[in-house]
Amino acid sequence: MYQERLVTYNWQANTDECADKWYNCGSRPAEVLENCDISLTIILKPVAFGVRLRKTNHASCRVSIHIQVESRLAITANKVEWTETFELCQFREDPEKFQTYVNVKCDITWFRREPVPPNLWKKLHHFCLNPTFSDVKIVIGNEELPAHKMILAAYSSVFAAMLTNPMREANEHRIQIVDANIETMRIVLQYLYQGSTENLNNTETIMRVWIVADKYNIEELKLTCEFRLMYFLDLTNVVAVLRDADSYEARMIKDICFDFIYVHRDRLDAIPEFQVLCIERPHLAYSLMLKFGNDRQLALPPLR
């Protein structure tokens, strides 16, 4: 048995086939997991490069992933949980086009752990928002969502403390949520029971879910939100996301917004809200100056 094992996978794609649309580059044997293949899907946008790694064996694995795209882009995720699909995205500072083909090298370090049955997520899915065997309710206003203490405690140390210590939640078998709406908690529960969710499809939803994940210390969901956010940032919403990230001290999301702003630094005049935000919160302008230096294209209002 290995303690950790590094495996390198290589793919090649025609740039025309992955320009502004998802393209499946094919699959490779995982080598580490039995009866498991790994497939890579990529999308090449003018300012970003996105990848989706999917494995056919849905057993939860702890991995570190490093993806190298030619010599220009590198994407890394360290010691993350991987069940079925894993998404990564990186902004491109260099808008220059790739050649006819793009080569992708993926290094995955697999860490040994007790295997989870491959079909466990499929079985757990049936208990999501299902009162069968439910032993705790999540209460939001006048609405209730059925849940299971074991699932909540497995993902969240905060929920675990609520449900095991002599607190009201443990005695009443009810968790009162006052700072999230019912739809947000449905998405959170969907992630806990399935290991993924398809409903992180806009920045407002992603930020609402991230705030819940941060408060209740659901680290895997926070990471998922941060990666998904990269796909939906644009000039119309980056200021709102940055303001929320600053308010909630979301360091990773602030960095994502800073990178996006820098990539689009020649178009900042199109988002006057950014100038207003920097005046309201001058520490953000200062952080940008520290991060990117005195780039003359980065037009910031004077610090007061």
Query: Torsion angle of alpha carbons 225, 222, 75, 263, nearest 10°?
Result: 50
**CATH says 233-294 is which class?**
mainly alpha
Instruction: Return the domain boundaries, the chain.
Output: 1-116, 120-226, 233-294
> Which whole-number Å values give the CA distances from 177 to 18, 96, 150, 246, in the listed order?
42, 48, 18, 23
For residue 117, give both structure tokens: 């049955």
Identify the CATH number of the domain defined by range 120-226.
3.30.710.10
Task: Quote the CA–CA distance of 159 and 203 in Å, as a whole number.
Answer: 26
Tens of pLDDT, residue by residue, the chain (304 residues): 346 888 999 999 888 888 878 889 999 998 887 778 999 998 887 767 888 888 888 777 888 888 888 877 788 877 677 877 777 777 765 555 677 888 899 999 888 655 555 566 667 788 989 999 999 999 999 999 999 999 999 899 999 998 888 877 777 889 999 989 999 999 999 999 888 888 999 999 999 999 999 999 998 898 888 878 878 888 899 999 999 999 999 988 988 888 888 778 778 777 888 888 888 998 888 887 776 665 545 545 444 4
3-state DSSP assignment of residue 50 = strand
Residues in the chain: 304
Residue type, 259: D
Residue 297, token pair as written in the block: 């294209």
Q: Map tokens 């495996």 to a residue.
A: 7
Q: Is 218 helix (H, G, I), strand (E, B) or coil?
A: coil
**Cα atoms in the 13 Å half-sphere on the side-chain side of 149:** 14
